[in-house]
Structure 1
Amino acid sequence: MLRNIFKEYASPFALRRMGIMGMNKRNISYISRYNPRRLYPLVDNKLHTKRISLEAGVTVPELIGVVEYQHQVSHLWEMIKDWPGFCIKPAKGSGGKGILVIERHDQERFIKPSGKEETIGDLERHISNILAGLFSLGGKPDVALIEALINFDDVFEGFSFEGVPDTRIIVFKGFPVMAMMRLSTDASDGKANLHQGAVGVGLDINTGRAIRAVQHNLPIRYHPDTGRDLLELKVPYWEEMLSLSSSCYEMSGLGYIGTDMVLDKQKGPMLLELNARPGLAIQTANGAGLVPRLKKIEKLGRDIKMTPEQRVVFSRREFAV
């Protein structure tokens, strides 16, 4: 798979020289080694993640309500009637599965970012599917979260199509090591999910500026729906984003995590979720491997006495493009 992604590099030896990390190395050398299994529920369940985030003073999207049991589904309208837009998501979902975004409604028609209309019955069926575990890890029964919509910053106008762009930063032992922005497209149905056709834009860890962009693992220059030049992208409040991602190490106790964040127009950087098993496509977006950066941090030793801000300074200096 990695050879298909990095087609311009001929052999596994070239990939190794680039420091490209495969799934086995990720699972054995980093996830298993640095992520205690007892802490997985804190990040595998978005409700738990929201709780520990609020306790740590981290800004997260506002929670409208939670549906835990089937008999509560019929009360959905009472929860959402005063909210012009909202997002329904499974607490234990992964890969963007089961997320339903409603941009606006008139009490009868509920409009998705794509313009497609849903009824209250459609929303209730979707929540019932969430409760049944249709979108959860391992197909286990789940609960549905209903959150307020994010009012994403106008600075990203044209970079994303009918959806909120988010920023993924890989954090190792509290050090931000690699970053990308995920931009929704018509193909991804307004979701920032690379597997569904969203665009991944690699970011310079020092400046937050775009360095490369891909869709379906192939390099691109312009957004497929808006035509915007993706290499013009620069994430504002970048130092705050890095500090927020770095602080998630202390908050979660996990040594190797993916932090997903958004930029709200009023509230600034907000944490969407944490991932204890972050994917490897971020290497494709950056055209670079994770291994050299991870090894550089491992060389610092086991007991690193640095604040999140100090770790950010280190990462910006050592991993700048």
Structure 2
Amino acid sequence: MNRVRGWDPLMGMNARNQLIAQVNAADAIRLVNNKYETKLALTEVGAPTSPTVLVVRSRREIARIDWDAMPADWALKPNQSLGGSGILLADQRIDGTWRSPSGKPLPLPTIVNHVRRILDGDFSPRITDWALFEPLIRTHPAMAALSFQGLPDIRVICVGDQPRLAMLRLPTKHSGGRANLHQKAVGAAVDLASGTVTRAVVGKREIADHPDTGHRLIGAAIPRWPSVLAAAARCAAATGLRYLGADIVIDADRGPLILEVNARPGLQIQNITGRGLGSAVRL
């Protein structure tokens, strides 16, 4: 068995899939594959998540949208997207026209076309999908300082209601401002007890500072850390999953918010933290 950092056994893909088949019920997996239904389930148990401004379920509903009543800032996303694709952000509204966080105008026809693409399943593994409008998340200043633009997030691996491993994912120029490790975002190990960064990796290279901003990562403290762990711990009760990955962001005003719950969390966290999941996820 492969090991990292001494005697921590690594979990491979086959072992992970066997674990998921044993402990995660099919109904629970179907639930978390639906972002809207997952948010309802999280809300029922008091877990913090971003509210839904509007759900668009069909092209017929587009004509009934009261655009004048929409907020100045929002996030438009697919209900069942792959890899975070298909997200459109509006940061403000000037003279009736929304603008992206970069200041690019978002005319109404552009927004409507994006809604149609979501409904047509362009960003989903399914033939059709729903479009969700949510309040725009504004990153906590302490988190924004660690990142290059984009929205940094925290992945917490839980067994039942017990957090076992955590990492921070920080956007970079190379990742296009996305917190995607496969696109060379920074992965940073977070100590569960203290909420501080203990190790950081970009690609296969261990680093101490963010490659774009130069901001020191090692020793950085994650704000509201006890609340982050408390949010992750509620995901099992909300979804019925026994093994899961909770993706959490920290909003400047609202604090920790659960973005997604994953029934099949990836294995990269082992390389980032230097700890194998083989021992961390024993049931």
- Compute the TM-score of the two structures, normalised by the length of structure 2: 0.90
Instruction: Find the residue that maps to 2:27 and give its secondary structure.
Output: helix
Aligned pairs for 1:1-321 (under 5 A) are 13-14=2-3, 18-28=8-18, 30-74=19-63, 78-79=66-67, 82-106=70-94, 110-136=98-124, 138-295=125-282, 298=283
Identity within the alignment, %:
36
Alpha-carbon offset, residue 91 of structure 1: 0.7
Distance (Å, rounded) in 2 between the aligned partners of 1:225 and 1:246:
33
Assess, with a 3 A threshold, how the Cα gap between structure 1 residues 139 and 42 changes in structure 2: closer, same or farther.
Answer: closer
Distance (Å, rounded) in 1 between the aligned partners of 2:102 and 2:210:
17
Deviations 1:257-280 (A, max 9, x none): 111112222222221111111111
Query: 256-265 vs 188-197, which deviates more?
Result: 188-197
Assess, with a 3 A threshold, how the Cα gap between structure 1 residues 257 and 125 changes in structure 2: closer, same or farther.
Answer: same
Counterpart of 1:51, as a letter, is L
Instruction: Tell me if structure 2 keeps the 8 A contact 1:69–1:143.
Output: yes
Instruction: Tell me if structure 1 keeps the 8 A contact 2:187–2:201.
Output: yes
Q: Which has the higher strand share?
A: 2
Q: Which has the higher helix share?
A: 1
Instruction: Find the residue that maps to 1:260 and give its secondary structure.
Output: strand
Counterpart of 2:59, as a letter, is Q
Alpha-carbon offset, residue 92 of structure 1: 0.9
Instruction: Tell me if structure 1 keeps the 8 A contact 2:198–2:219.
Output: no
Instruction: Tell me if structure 1 keeps the 8 A contact 2:179–2:185.
Output: yes
Count of residues in correspondence between the two structures: 282
Instruction: Find the residue that maps to 2:165 and give its secondary structure.
Output: strand
Alpha-carbon offset, residue 168 of structure 1: 0.9
Unaligned runs of 5+ in 1: 1-11, 299-321
Distance (Å, rounded) in 2 between the aligned partners of 1:151 and 1:248:
23
Distance (Å, rounded) in 2 between the aligned partners of 1:188 and 1:198:
5
Instruction: Tell me if structure 2 keeps the 8 A contact 1:151–1:265.
Output: yes
Alpha-carbon offset, residue 84 of structure 1: 2.2
Distance (Å, rounded) in 1 between the aligned partners of 2:150 and 2:68:
20
RMSD: 2.2
Unaligned runs of 5+ in 2: none
Distance (Å, rounded) in 1 between the aligned partners of 2:141 and 2:59:
38
Aligned to 1:312: none
Assess, with a 3 A threshold, how the Cα gap between structure 1 residues 132 and 64 changes in structure 2: closer, same or farther.
Answer: same
Alpha-carbon offset, residue 128 of structure 1: 1.4
Aligned to 1:301: none
Instruction: Tell me if structure 1 keeps the 8 A contact 2:155–2:166.
Output: yes
Query: 181-190 vs 235-244, which deviates more?
Result: 181-190
Instruction: Tell me if structure 2 keeps the 8 A contact 1:113–1:163.
Output: no
Alpha-carbon offset, residue 102 of structure 1: 2.2
Counterpart of 2:34, as a letter, is N
Counterpart of 1:127, as a letter, is V
Select the structure with the greater relative contact order (CA < 8 A; seq sep ≥ 6).
Answer: 2
